[in-house]
Amino acid sequence: MKHLIILDNPTEWKLSVPGVEVYSARDYLTKEAFRKRRNVKVYNLCKSYRYQTLGYYVSLLAAARGHKPIPSVSTIQDLKSQPLVRTVSEDLDQLIQTSFEGLKSKEFTLSIYFGQNVAKRYDRLSAHFFKLFQAPFLRAHFELVAEKWELQSIKPISALEIPEEHYPFVQTSARAYFKGRRGTRKKEVVYNYDLAILINPDEALPPSDKKALERFIKSANDLGLDAELITKDDFGRLAEFDALFIRETTSVNHHTYRFARRAKAEGLVVMDDPESILKCTNKIYLAELLEAHKVRTPRTIIAHRDNIAEVQHKIGFPCILKQPDSAFSQGVKKAKNLEELVEHLENFLSKSDLVIAQEYLPTEFDWRIGIIDKTPFYACKYFMARQHWQILKQAGAGKHEEGRVSTIPFEEVPESVINTALRAANLIGDGLYGVDLKEIDGKCFVIEVNDNPNIDHGYEDAVMKMDLYKTIMEVFRDRIEKKKQRIT
């Protein structure tokens, strides 16, 4: 990948960095040769990123050309957002307090050069800010408020704003950064596109285990995709990639949704896309959607404080109560009588004004049909946990028990199960979904559509093996190429 540094005036660049090309903003924006270049990363060091200035247009048109701008337009907007600045200050609070412990002043300005500061003690904090706000040079201002350090502002700076005494350090940081960018791989492998896989290393029940992630990366590499595992700290790096694959449990009020929205805004191919997260993670929406399109489900009522009698009368006992954003069998309760119904509803309604009440349909197992790009590609039977009515049984102290999983060849899956799953998933979109169904006397009942289905080694891949991972990565590759073709 070629690295271009763009400034208002190239004479402002006083550093010597091998392999980096330096151009004026006006040349980059107006000369035809730049429009045709591919596999380019653009480092925008213009004096101003204000709307419709040269600096703004450098990042904007770099994205339109399929180049990778740093900072991106989304990052430029984020740097202006005071609510986001406050959120970042809260998220990094412990690190901020630790970093500035012992300072005598009531104000402090932190200069960040490619994720580093001239003082080693601030390197961790600087690296976090650089990951969140990808800009070559940043300046963060902090104030001591009620005995606590708070971030007041963070903004990108131009090369002209670097103090003269910092230049030797900036020179070293820039050389290390660009050398690292070109030399991180032991093998000289040329990949066509970059794929970020978002994970949470500390998640107790992740959508994919370590071995599955390794197979995703291997399949991606085989198809020309340079796959990299990222975490929530890499939010600011999204513009570096061509696609985002979320392998962390999703939720709307969560960083996974912010990642999906940012990725879409940056023009990345993204699964799960933000619309799918919105639709699938709220069971109230799903219930209304499936009913409106006459997709069979267990008898369902949207419960609230004023219709408990209706739930009792129309659903009966036992009945299932679901928190709208429940996942992994958590936030789901079975009420055997009116007393339990009132108790569980009271608990759920303290968090949400509406709750799902559903008919209890006991079965030995649930079907799970995996669907991507509106095509089914795996089928599993998820059996109930031992002596339990759910697939996953909470055993206390963070422990759990799971029922066994049996992956089934498609020729052994009833056609009605596959067709019903497709009808449900196609109402959501064309992403990656896992549709859960119960089959009783030949009738199929959709339980839910999951936007972030489990894909674990030895389970969902038991029939297709590596072809399962390849199927998903092929969808990413094909969608990236279609986007690139539209740009050219």
Distance CA 341, CA 311 (A): 9
Question: What fold, for 299-359?
Answer: Dna Ligase; domain 1 (3.30.1490)
Q: Is the pLDDT of residue 182 over 60?
A: no
Asked whether residue 137 carries a pLDDT value surpassing 70, the answer given is yes
What is the arithmetic mean of pLDDT over 215-222?
98
Indicate where the chain has its CATH 3.40.50.20 domain(s). Answer: 193-274+474-487
Query: What is residue 183's predicted lDDT score, i.e. its pLDDT?
Result: 41
* Parts of the chain belonging to CATH 3.30.470.20: 365-450
Q: What is the tens place of the pLDDT at every residue in 144-177?
A: 999 999 999 999 998 889 999 999 999 999 999 9
Residue span(s) of the chain under CATH 3.30.1490.20 come to: 299-359
Question: What value does the mean pLDDT take over residues 246-268?
Answer: 92
Closest C-alpha among 208, 205, 445 to residue 330 = 205
Distance (Å, rounded) from C-alpha 448 to C-alpha 424?
A: 9
pLDDT at 46: 93
Higher pLDDT, 312 or 185: 312
Reported confidence tier of residue 328, pLDDT bands at 50, 70, 90: low
What distance lies between CA 459 and its chain's CA centroid? 23
Confidence label for 331 from pLDDT (cuts 50, 70 and 90):
confident
Report how far Cα 273 is from the mean position of its chain's Cα atoms: 9
Going from the C-alpha of 363 to that of each of 366, 367, 380, 383, the distances in angstroms are: 7, 10, 15, 9
Could you list the beta-strand ranges (E) of 169-260. Answer: 193-198, 225-230, 243-246
Predicted pLDDT of residue 184? 41
Mean pLDDT check: name the lowest of 141-150, 302-311, 391-400, 402-411. Answer: 391-400
**pLDDT at residue 446, rounded to an integer:** 98
Q: Predicted confidence band at 185 (pLDDT cuts at 50, 70, 90)?
A: very low
Q: What is the pTM assigned to this prediction?
A: 0.77
Q: Please state which CATH class domain 193-274+474-487 belongs to.
A: alpha beta
pLDDT at 186: 44
pLDDT of residue 418: 97
Looking at residue 329, its pLDDT comes to 61
pLDDT digits (tens, 9 = 90+) for 111-129: 999 999 999 999 999 999 9
Residue 43: which residues within 8 A CB-CB, separation 6 or more? 3, 4, 5, 6, 70, 136
Residue 52 is predicted with a pLDDT of 87
Least confident of 67-71, 395-399, 462-466: 395-399
Average pLDDT over residues 401-414: 93
The single-letter code of the amino acid at 463 is V
Average pLDDT value for residue range 420-440: 97
Mean pLDDT of the chain: 91
109-140 b/e with 16+ CB inside 10 Å = b? ebbbbbbbbbeeebeebbbbbbbbbbbbbbbb
Q: What is the CATH number of domain 365-450?
A: 3.30.470.20
**What pLDDT is stored for residue 419 in this prediction?**
97
77 contacts 51 by C-beta, under 8 angstroms: no
What is the average per-residue pLDDT within 264-293? 93
The strand ranges marked E within 231-315 are 243-246, 269-271, 300-303
pLDDT at 179: 82
pLDDT tens-digit readout, 36-92:
898 899 999 999 998 889 999 999 999 888 898 999 888 888 888 888 888 888 889
The one-letter amino acid at 366 = D
pLDDT of residue 131: 87
- The tally of CA atoms less than 13 A away on the side-chain side of residue 401 is 12
Instruction: Say what angle helices 466-487 and 210-222 make with each other, to 10 degrees.
Output: 50
Across the range 458-487, mean pLDDT stands at 94
Instruction: With cut-offs at 50, 70 and 90, classify the pLDDT of residue 187.
Output: very low
